[in-house]
Structure 1
Amino acid sequence: MEKFIVSARKYRPQTFDTVVGQGHITTTLKNAIKNNQLAHAFLFCGPRGVGKTTCARILAKTINCQNLQPDGEACNQCHSCKSFNDGISLNIHELDAASNNSVDDIRSLVEQVRFAPQAGKYKVYIVDEVHMLSASAFNAFLKTLEEPPSYAIFILATTEKHKILPTILSRCQIFDFKRITSNDTVEHLEEIVRKEELKAEKGALQVIAQKSEGCMRDALSILDKIVSFTNGTVTYQNTLEHLNILDHDYYFRLLEHLLQQDMAGAMLLYDEINRKGFEGDLVLNGFAEFIRNLLVCKDPRAAALLDVVEGMQQKYTDTAAATGMSFLVSALNILNEAEINFKMARNKRLHVELTIIKLNFLQQALELAADNGSVVKKKRLDGPVAYKTRSIPSLQAKNAAQQAPPAPSSKLFIQEQPAAPPTARTPVNRVETARAMVAEPAATPATTTLAPKSKRSLLDGLRERYGDRYLIEEIKEAEPLEINKLYQVWSRYGSKLEQQQKFTAFNTFKTARLAIDEDNLFTVTVLAPIQQKFIEQEKMMLTDEIQQAFNNRAITFRITVEEGEKEDVPLHLALNSRQRLDRIAEQYPLVMELKNRLGLELDY
């Protein structure tokens, strides 16, 4: 029985021309070889399965070819090319950095670099997955990578460029490999199918290319599996079945039910999908991708972004034209949130069904939000919005006020009595009361301003009118800080702490010194940081009591620690580990002898 070789190895490119989807890199390398402008170190980075290691091997074979072709390709006929194809070339060394990432492995590689090649021009060292090297291995590799011998060329390959040290990047010529497009993948698969004499539908190959996501190795592996599954006949349906992919016809039917607000039909369709074994997150992700494709079809300029099976483009375009843009954007947002929260849901099926219910009523919600065919924003408030106004007094009233002697300013607040008995009077709104307070002086004619009735203060007028329903008091003016009164309040609060048996805090309050810095700021000076902590623990209650005493909510204070003599620290706490060991060794010499005999090391 002949040994089976997977397609990824059997059809691995042997020349630059056979590399798929990386023309910008192969052209650069061929020109560098023809012009003899080879760098001493290359870094190939990009996604998995796009040809990094393949290009590294082709480059290593080509630069040692004894009969180089005019187009920069290897001849595959000379002794060097044949030995490379047979895997017995001594000029090419491959190192898997994922399993050989220590300093010793790199040192061994550096030792090999010192020996010149026995045959050929160059010795090529290919280090795959170079990002797995340790930091020490990178540092051991730096000098050799910067100034290698003239016959040594290093080719580094990695999928994670960001993990490589900048010092390594600066010493290499960097080539960024890109993902292979679906069209290039399909063309390569068709060529392999033709060579293998298989039967494959182009739609099936397009599905395989989409599933591989730009990785040629994955595409070839999927093709091998499906060929084994279908016994050599690859069709669109058996490809969907094998890859566990939902046909887009299900999504077209689901969208039709949602647009018609047929919730029963949509739920039954999801039940049919669920009974086929498709998980809820797969349905959400697939339907979101389907909505995305419809959004792409809305604009002819974005048609190139549509990545679907050949022959389905027109159906997508027709469906997108019949679906509103607002529905598609809102549906995509709902599906995205549902997919994010899917893992946290306990009942997965109910979670997906709730998403379908939201999408079912989405069209109705958009219609309700429309005003004469145009979408309007939701109103934040339906009722009237209060705004601040300021009345302008008349000129006559202003002149009269200037002639009258200035009255002492007073501030008022109106507090409703908590237990006022119900009366037959009409309740007065506070806003209306405030408006009356502002509007009443302005509404009085200027001719009556000098009458005896106008000499009645506003406070008396409010008491006469609302005294039986509201408690009207005059607010006291805020007092500035005064040191004697401040000490009284401070001592009174300390006495409370003493009654609560907080004797340490009481002593702190007793010894603290107060000093007024500004009208609303004073400083508390203590002797030690621990006293500062005691006062900070009481700061909220203490500040409130001081503010009430001075009728001033702007009062605050800060705490400072007076610089004094430093506290005596015990000797065993002031010494480090080495000093402690030396001190113990002076007193007990046998301790050092025990340490030396056991080979112990001190952990600093």
Structure 2
Amino acid sequence: MDKFIVSARKYRPQNFSTVVGQSHITTTLKNAINNNQLAHAFLFCGPRGVGKTTCARILAKTINCENKTGEGEACNTCNSCVSFDNGSSMNIHELDAASNNSVDDIRSLVEQVRFAPQAGDYKVYIVDEVHMLSAAAFNAFLKTLEEPPPYAIFILATTEKHKILPTILSRCQIFDFKRITTNDTVEHIQEICDKEEITAEKTALHIIAQKSEGCMRDALSILDKIVSFTGGKITYTNTLEHLNILDEDYYFSMLDHMRKQQLSDALLLFDTINQKGFEGDTFLEGFTEFVRNLLVSKEPKAAILLDVAEDFKQKYLQVSLDTDTAWMLSALNLLTDSNIGYKQARNKKLFVEMTLIKLSYLQQALEISAGDGGISKKKLTDSAKPVAFKALPIIRVKDDKPVPVAEHPAPKAASLVIEEERTERPAPVSAPAPAQRQQPATPAPTTTLPGGSMGTLGNIRAKLAEKNKVVSGPKPLLLEELKSSLAVHIEKLFAEKNNLGASTIKAAALSIVDDNTFTIIVDNTLQQKIIEAERSGLIHHLQDHFNNRILKYSIIIDEKERVEEPEAKTLNRKQQYALMTEQYPLIKELRERLRLEVD
């Protein structure tokens, strides 16, 4: 029985045209070979499993091929190509820098470079995982890499370019490999399935390509596992079961329950998912990606970013049209926070259920916050200012001559009631002109809006003035009035349990600068910071009290001179005795009678 060879090795590309997803690199290398413009050192960098080592081997085989094609490909039939495919070529040397990263390994490699090839034009040295070399090994490699013999070509491969010394990077021609797209992976796997006579659904292959995350080697390894698991028949269902991936139909059902606010059905569905062996974090991550796909499907221009199987694309587009954008954005924020907080949660199932409860009533919360008139926006001004209208002049008639009367001052606010002012006029001797015709004395009528009576214009002005706190002008800034206003604000701070701020303002001194400015005098920087923290509420209170929007204040620190207290000196026994005898002379007499000595 033949030995089994994994698909990643069995179907490894043998020429540039079979390399998947790296056409920008293969085209450059083929042109360099055709134009005889090969560099002496290459650096292939990129993610794992995208073809770096494969392209290095193809390049080594092609440049030594005896019968190159017109497109710059190896013929695979000459002695050099056959010996290369059999692994017996002496013109290629591979070094795994992950396990051979010492200075001695690089020195032995440099010693081999001195010998010219026995057959062929070039000797190629492939150093894989070159970022694992030590700093000393890099330094030992620098001179040879900069000025190698004309027959030596170095190909360095790495997944972490940032770990390589800049002196190495500057000596190499760098090629950046990219991740293989999902569509390219699906097409390549489909070709292999056709060659191996494996029945595979397109959606199942798409799931395999998504799981590999742009790595062809991983995709082929997953394919081999699923073929062994299913016996050569790959379906969407058994692929999901083998890769432990949740079916997207569950997400569509969960979304339907949430939009209809069917909380019990959503919780029962999650319990079913949990009993199938899927953990809560798997569900949250999958549902987050599902909502993201819905949001991407909302706009036709962004639909190309939808990385799902073709069978599901139409369903995503249809469901996204019926889902509110505000709901999707809020759900993404909520799910992102849940993904972060899941690890800290003790009862993880309850944590996921709480997230489902919030999502089920999210639409209702958005409607409540929006209100009847749409979502409220922050006002641009501190308070609404009424629009003043210019009053029309009133013309009185006296002795048949029109006399203009001084204009009434414009009202402070736009009134909803229009009052017509009419006065009695004496009857003229002759018929006046139409503009001067006498009108009978009538009470002043009041025009109101439909729906109720409003009273006179004066009452309404008074009500509007009281509501909007409109007065004739700003109050004068006097020290006593300022202190009384601050006392009211201090009582408010005490009521709000802000004792520190209230006490600091109460202890500060005040000084009037001009009609619109005053200063608050404090003792130290700490008091200044405390009052500064209360600036917003304090200035609004004072501006409203004095009806002065340009009222302002500044805080000045007046540090009082500190009286330095004399430092306490430590006295010895004799000094203490001398001080005591000065105050109490009888102590000296007592010592002499008892014949005591001072230490």
In the TM superposition, residue 478 of structure 1 has moved relative to its aligned partner by: 9.0
Q: Percent identity?
A: 68
RMSD (Å), alpha carbons = 3.7
Change (3 A) 1:391 1:102: farther
- The answer as to whether partners of 1:369 and 1:378 remain within 8 angstroms in 2 is no
Does 2:246 correspond to 1:173? no
1:240-255 mapped onto 2 (5 Å cutoff): 240-255=240-255
Does 2:333 correspond to 1:333? yes
Q: In structure 2, how many angstroms separate the alpha carbons of the residues matched to 1:56 and 1:176? A: 13
The corresponding residue for 2:432 is none
Letter in 1 for 2:255: L
The corresponding residue for 1:114 is 114
1:417-432 mapped onto 2 (5 Å cutoff): none
- TM-score, with length taken from structure 1: 0.66
Q: What is the CA deviation profile of residues 443-499 of structure 1, one whole-angstrom value per residue up to 9, with x for unaligned ones? A: xxxxxxxxxxxxxxxxxxxxxxxxxxxxxxxxxx99787xxxx5xx4432x44xx39
Q: In structure 2, how many angstroms separate the alpha carbons of the residues matched to 1:293 and 1:106? A: 50
In the TM superposition, residue 328 of structure 1 has moved relative to its aligned partner by: 0.4
Letter in 1 for 2:134: S
Does 2:312 correspond to 1:312? yes
Q: In structure 1, how many angstroms separate the alpha carbons of the residues matched to 2:480 and 2:201? A: 94
Does 2:587 correspond to 1:491? no
Letter in 2 for 1:313: K
Change (3 A) 1:153 1:410: same
Change (3 A) 1:135 1:390: farther
Change (3 A) 1:31 1:370: same
Change (3 A) 1:410 1:97: same
After superposing on structure 2, the runs of 4+ consecutive aligned residues of structure 1 that deviate more than 2 Å are 371-380, 387-394, 407-416, 477-481
The corresponding residue for 1:551 is none
In the TM superposition, residue 379 of structure 1 has moved relative to its aligned partner by: 9.1
Change (3 A) 1:392 1:140: same
- TM-score, with length taken from structure 2: 0.66
SS in 2 for 1:145: helix
SS in 1 for 2:77: coil
Does 2:126 correspond to 1:53? no
Q: In structure 1, how many angstroms separate the alpha carbons of the residues matched to 2:52 and 2:303? A: 31
Q: In structure 2, how many angstroms separate the alpha carbons of the residues matched to 1:410 and 1:295? A: 59
The corresponding residue for 1:522 is none
Change (3 A) 1:151 1:272: same
Q: In structure 2, how many angstroms separate the alpha carbons of the residues matched to 1:140 and 1:241? A: 52
Q: What is the CA deviation profile of residues 154-196 of structure 1, one whole-angstrom value per residue up to 9, with x for unaligned ones? A: 0011111111111111111111111111111111111100110
In the TM superposition, residue 376 of structure 1 has moved relative to its aligned partner by: 3.1
Letter in 2 for 1:67: N
SS in 2 for 1:365: helix
In the TM superposition, residue 341 of structure 1 has moved relative to its aligned partner by: 1.6
Does 2:105 correspond to 1:105? yes
Letter in 2 for 1:218: D
Does 2:157 correspond to 1:160? no
Letter in 2 for 1:491: E
In the TM superposition, residue 209 of structure 1 has moved relative to its aligned partner by: 0.7
Change (3 A) 1:87 1:491: same
Does 2:365 correspond to 1:365? yes
Change (3 A) 1:369 1:35: same
SS in 2 for 1:157: strand
Q: What is the CA deviation profile of residues 258-287 of structure 1, one whole-angstrom value per residue up to 9, with x for unaligned ones? A: 111111111111000000000111101100
Letter in 1 for 2:190: E
Unaligned 5+ runs, structure 1: 399-406, 419-429, 432-437, 442-476, 504-604
Change (3 A) 1:388 1:134: farther
In the TM superposition, residue 105 of structure 1 has moved relative to its aligned partner by: 1.0
Letter in 1 for 2:232: G
In the TM superposition, residue 239 of structure 1 has moved relative to its aligned partner by: 0.5
In the TM superposition, residue 371 of structure 1 has moved relative to its aligned partner by: 3.5
Change (3 A) 1:391 1:201: same
Q: In structure 1, how many angstroms separate the alpha carbons of the residues matched to 2:264 and 2:383? A: 39
- The answer as to whether partners of 1:129 and 1:159 remain within 8 angstroms in 2 is yes
Q: In structure 2, how many angstroms separate the alpha carbons of the residues matched to 1:171 and 1:356? A: 56
1:463-474 mapped onto 2 (5 Å cutoff): none
The corresponding residue for 1:146 is 146
1:10-21 mapped onto 2 (5 Å cutoff): 10-21=10-21
Q: What is the CA deviation profile of residues 529-564 of structure 1, one whole-angstrom value per residue up to 9, with x for unaligned ones? A: xxxxxxxxxxxxxxxxxxxxxxxxxxxxxxxxxxxx
Q: In structure 1, how many angstroms separate the alpha carbons of the residues matched to 2:354 and 2:189? A: 41
Q: In structure 2, how many angstroms separate the alpha carbons of the residues matched to 1:143 and 1:478? A: 68
In the TM superposition, residue 392 of structure 1 has moved relative to its aligned partner by: 6.2
Change (3 A) 1:378 1:264: farther
Q: In structure 1, how many angstroms separate the alpha carbons of the residues matched to 2:127 and 2:373? A: 63
The corresponding residue for 1:4 is 4
Q: In structure 1, how many angstroms separate the alpha carbons of the residues matched to 2:474 and 2:241? A: 85
Q: In structure 2, how many angstroms separate the alpha carbons of the residues matched to 1:288 and 1:239? A: 21
- The answer as to whether partners of 1:21 and 1:184 remain within 8 angstroms in 2 is yes
Question: Highest CA radius of gyration, 1 or 2?
Answer: 2
Does 2:90 correspond to 1:81? no
1:124-523 mapped onto 2 (5 Å cutoff): 124-372=124-372, 374-377=374-377, 489-492=562-565, 494-495=566-567, 498=568
Letter in 2 for 1:9: R
The corresponding residue for 1:537 is none
In the TM superposition, residue 410 of structure 1 has moved relative to its aligned partner by: 13
SS in 1 for 2:156: strand
Letter in 2 for 1:342: Y
Change (3 A) 1:479 1:22: closer
Letter in 2 for 1:100: N
Change (3 A) 1:307 1:415: closer
Q: What is the CA deviation profile of residues 368-391 of structure 1, one whole-angstrom value per residue up to 9, with x for unaligned ones? A: 1124473334899x999xx99999
Q: In structure 2, how many angstroms separate the alpha carbons of the residues matched to 1:408 and 1:45? A: 76
Q: In structure 1, how many angstroms separate the alpha carbons of the residues matched to 2:482 and 2:378? A: 42
SS in 2 for 1:375: coil
Figure out how many residues of one structure are paired with residues of the other and give that number.
Answer: 429
The corresponding residue for 2:397 is none
Letter in 2 for 1:251: Y
The corresponding residue for 2:581 is none
Q: In structure 1, how many angstroms separate the alpha carbons of the residues matched to 2:104 and 2:365? A: 67
SS in 1 for 2:175: strand
SS in 2 for 1:374: coil
Q: What is the CA deviation profile of residues 403-423 of structure 1, one whole-angstrom value per residue up to 9, with x for unaligned ones? A: xxxx9999968879x9xxxxx
Letter in 2 for 1:258: M
SS in 2 for 1:491: coil
Unaligned 5+ runs, structure 2: 385-467, 491-502, 506-511, 516-555, 573-599
In the TM superposition, residue 310 of structure 1 has moved relative to its aligned partner by: 1.8
